[in-house]
A and B are shown apart, each in its own frame.
Chain A
Amino acid sequence: MATLSIKAKVGATTILCLTAGAVGLLALSDASYRKNVRMVTQESLANARATYANLSDASVAKMSVAAEMAMADPALRETFAAQDRQKLIDVTAPIFERLRKQYGVTIFNYIDANENRFLTMTDTKDVRLIGTKAVRFNVQECARVKTWVTGLALGQLGFALRVTHPFYDSGQLQGEKILGYIELGSEIGGFLGALKKQTGREYGLLLRKQLLKEKDWGIQRERLKLPNNWNVQKDLVLAGNTWTDESIFAYEGDVTNLPDEGQVLDVGNRGGQIFARSAFPIKDASSAKVGAVFVLVDITSIYTDLQHTKMLTIGTTVALIVVVCVVLLVLLSSLVFRRLKEITRVATRLVGGDYQTPVAVSKADEIGHFEELFEQLRLVFVNLLEEYERVSRENDAKSKPGN
């Protein structure tokens, strides 16, 4: 039978218990880390979503006021009514420049009553932007309802938050005759910078390729002097971001499956920085999910704290194992092992012929009781042996001749 000393068993049990405790602590700190990351990420997601909505509302309000003021401008209205494109460019240019600088308005379009593009201030020379049909939900909806239509829409010049309104000959919000439509827009990519400024997080905007045209995308990227990233991802394309490494926004999932309130996605490492990713969908003017805003939360400090806690737990456990083992073994040695060794020594000497060495009762505890019992047993043994020797001597004497 394999033998294992009590010392080894106690040592092994101590190590096992403390290791189990340490593993439990590590699991707890890991769970706490995940909870913290989830909380921070969810909070950031909710914050980003609310900020995005606020920015969107504020932007719509600003563009609505600007459009209203533009329509009320007699010079601008008369020029549009006269269909004088060059004069309209001259009249609109200073207004557009001021709106662009002060309010981030990047789109200022005139669309005629037949929903064809009349003037696109962003690029007045592009023939594709003159006389062609403006096939967009917001334009068609505006023509149908004859009032404001706002929302995200994709045009030749990119994905933008647009405000579209019928341009009445009265210059008022309502009128008899529609001259056409006025459309002001702010490119959604610009929102990301504002979001970052307000929340301190990093953002990326991914759009569904299905709703875009590869050729138009290439033209738009060229106009913005950006490399064409159409083929980087399978179903999505990155329209804008605030982070240096675009690959962090790679996403294989289907953004249409993202819940409206957004979703925490995963945690990734980029160049030593740990980011938690989450995303919320964005909808166009027709309420279709057209893409998603990705939120990056730098959780490096939380992760570093976890690693520190882990190292501390492991270090403390190792120190505890050493201290507890030493204390236990010293205690056991003093209370049990040393006294058992003494009993063994006396027992060995007893059967070796030393009948005089007694077992001293050292303490009044369990081992002390055993020492007492063993001493009684020793005395019985000695008496028995003496009795045996006496009988043996008597028998020897009787067996001798003459007795």
Chain B
Amino acid sequence: MTDLLNTGESMAALYDLKVKIDKTIEERKLDGVATRGKIALQTGFLLSLVSASTPDDPVKLDKLKKAAAAVLQLKV
């Protein structure tokens, strides 16, 4: 993957992070709906609407990183 505007993020970074979050929820056997809900309430967008074709938005990505760290203690 190539860097976009030298931000250090890949083009599907938002989707990659979403996948990572889903995987973590599955691995930890958490309540998927409640956990994704908490993350969505923190980011302001629905994870279910993030797909591989969703263009990366640095602001959204930052919010998702912070939410993942806060809800799942996931260091990204």
A positions within 8 Å CB-CB of B: 345, 347-354, 385, 388
Closest Cβ of chain A to B38, distance in Å, is 6
Q: Which of B37, B40, B41 has the most CB of A within 10 A?
A: B37
Q: What is the predominant secondary structure among interface residues of chain A facing chain B?
A: helix
Cross-chain contact A347 with B41 (CB below 8 angstroms): yes
Closest Cβ of chain A to B30, distance in Å, is 11
Number of interface residues of B (CB under 8 A): 14
Cross-chain contact B48 with A348 (CB below 8 angstroms): no
Contact of A353 among B33, B38, B41 (CB under 8 A): B33
- CB-CB under 8 A from A353, the residues of chain B are 32-33, 36-37, 46-48
Mark interface residues in B4-40 (1 if CB within 8 Å of A CB, else 0). Answer: 0000000000000000000000000000111111111
Contact of B41 among A348, A354, A385, A388 (CB under 8 A): A348
Q: Which of B33, B40, B41 has the most CB of A within 10 A?
A: B33
Cross-chain contact A351 with B46 (CB below 8 angstroms): yes
Bound together, the chains give a CA A304 to CA B38 distance in angstroms of 61
B positions within 8 Å CB-CB of A: 32-41, 46-49
Closest Cβ of chain A to B37, distance in Å, is 3
Bound together, the chains give a CA A119 to CA B49 distance in angstroms of 128
Bound together, the chains give a CA A385 to CA B45 distance in angstroms of 12
* Extra 18 A-B pairs, beta carbons < 8 Å, given A352-B33, A352-B38: A345-B34, A347-B41, A348-B34, A349-B37, A350-B37, A351-B37, A351-B41, A351-B46, A352-B32, A352-B34, A352-B36, A352-B37, A352-B39, A353-B37, A353-B47, A353-B48, A354-B33, A354-B37
Bound together, the chains give a CA A352 to CA B39 distance in angstroms of 8
Q: Show 29 residue pairs from A and B whose CB-CB distance is below 8 angstroms, ordered by the A residue.
A: A345-B34, A347-B37, A347-B41, A348-B34, A348-B37, A348-B38, A348-B40, A348-B41, A349-B33, A349-B34, A350-B37, A351-B36, A351-B37, A351-B46, A352-B32, A352-B33, A352-B34, A352-B35, A352-B37, A352-B38, A352-B39, A352-B40, A353-B32, A353-B36, A353-B37, A353-B46, A353-B47, A353-B48, A354-B33
- CB-CB under 8 A from A347, the residues of chain B are 37, 41
- CB-CB under 8 A from A385, the residues of chain B are 46
- CB-CB under 8 A from B41, the residues of chain A are 347-348, 351
Chain B residue at smallest Cβ distance from A381:
B46
- CB-CB under 8 A from A351, the residues of chain B are 36-37, 40-41, 46
